[in-house]
């Protein structure tokens, strides 16, 4: 019996990096070598329409049509069965866990929990100023508008988390600073034994000049301050089993 771990987050937040690190575990399978951008599973299924507009960077997360929750038109057994069938060829059937990584998972977690009741979710955040700078090569929007989108998207995330049984929120900056303990924490969240991180992890935030855009206090909930600043924060870890919840939290929240 396989289980799904869905990874979501805004574009350029580190979802691809996180997926690679998690799926290096021998009990985890991920989509690889698919003829779609960044091996994103949203392109490989036909149950939920996905066009260039549906997952548009710095657009989808505040589009009410993309916020898919329990009871929506896609909350049906037929949708679940079609997604399972479309995804199955891309996973190793011998491994119990399947990681599906698509940025739009950020706005689909509540629906996916209904379709796949034993699924778990990981959301990765990255400093809003760094995300704004990273996506600016694609979009003409002023940096202030991109940061405002980030804030609105994660305000919605905070509300959605109340509905999820097994969800974990981490930060890109912590993953880069402590890749070993961060991935160990996520594997503990999945109920898996530790597995060493063998891939090199570098902090891509260093590629961007510090340009204070974020309004002071606007992202304190996530431990982000203006000028690429970060502060200590308490990661979100929810899991029905206390042992897995506490094991993950201990590794993701080093003292």
Q: Model's pTM, two decimal places?
A: 0.96
Mean pLDDT of 97-123: 98
Termini Cα distance of the chain: 36
Residues 6+ apart with CB under 8 A from 171: 124, 125, 126, 222, 223, 230, 233, 235
Number of domain units in the chain: 1
CA angle 193/199/202 to nearest 5° reads 120
Q: Which domain does 31 fall in, by range?
A: 3-252
Predicted confidence (pLDDT) at residue 71 exceeds the cutoff of 80: yes
pLDDT exceeding 90 applies to what percent of the chain?
Answer: 89
Structure confidence by residue, pLDDT tens digits, 111-122: 999 999 999 999
CA angle 50/52/56 to nearest 5° reads 100
Structure confidence by residue, pLDDT tens digits, 158-187: 999 999 999 999 999 999 999 999 999 999
pLDDT at 168: 98
Alpha-carbon distance of 224 to 216, in angstroms, equals 9
What DSSP designation does 33 have?
S
- Identify any residues that bridge with 167 across adjacent strands, giving them in sequence order: 121, 238
Predicted confidence (pLDDT) at residue 1 exceeds the cutoff of 80: no
* pLDDT averaged over every residue in the chain: 95
Predicted confidence (pLDDT) at residue 193 exceeds the cutoff of 80: yes
Q: What is the CATH number of the domain that holds 85?
A: 3.40.50
pLDDT at 226: 93
For 242, the token pair is 């206390």
Confidence of residue 53 (pLDDT cuts 50, 70, 90): confident
Confidence of residue 254 (pLDDT cuts 50, 70, 90): confident
pLDDT at 51: 82
């Amino acid at each position: 019996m396989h289980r799904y771990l869905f990874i979501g987050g805004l574009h350029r937040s580190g979802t691809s990096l996180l997926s690679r690190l998690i799926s290096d575990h021998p009990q985890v399978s991920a989509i690889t070598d698919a003829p779609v951008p960044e091996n994103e599973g949203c392109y490989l299924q036909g149950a939920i329409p996905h066009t260039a507009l549906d997952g548009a960077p710095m657009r989808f997360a505040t589009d009410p049509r993309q916020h898919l929750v329990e009871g929506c038109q896609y909350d049906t057994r037929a949708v679940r069965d079609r997604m399972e069938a479309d995804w199955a060829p891309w996973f190793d059937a011998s491994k119990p866990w399947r990681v599906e990584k698509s940025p739009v998972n950020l706005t689909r977690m509540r629906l996916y929990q209904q379709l796949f009741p034993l699924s778990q979710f990981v959301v990765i955040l990255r400093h809003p100023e760094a995300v704004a700078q990273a996506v600016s090569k694609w979009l003409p929007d002023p940096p202030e508008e991109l940061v405002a989108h980030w804030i609105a998207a994660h305000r919605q995330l905070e509300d959605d988390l109340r509905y999820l049984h097994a969800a974990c929120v981490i930060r890109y900056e912590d993953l880069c600073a402590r890749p070993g303990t961060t991935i160990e924490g996520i594997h503990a969240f999945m109920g898996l034994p530790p597995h060493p991180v063998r891939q090199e992890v570098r902090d891509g935030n260093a590629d961007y000049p510090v340009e204070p855009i974020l309004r002071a206090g606007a992202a304190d909930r996530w431990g982000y301050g203006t000028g690429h600043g970060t502060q200590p924060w308490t990661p979100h870890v929810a899991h029905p089993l206390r042992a897995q919840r506490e094991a993950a939290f201990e590794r993701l929240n080093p003292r």
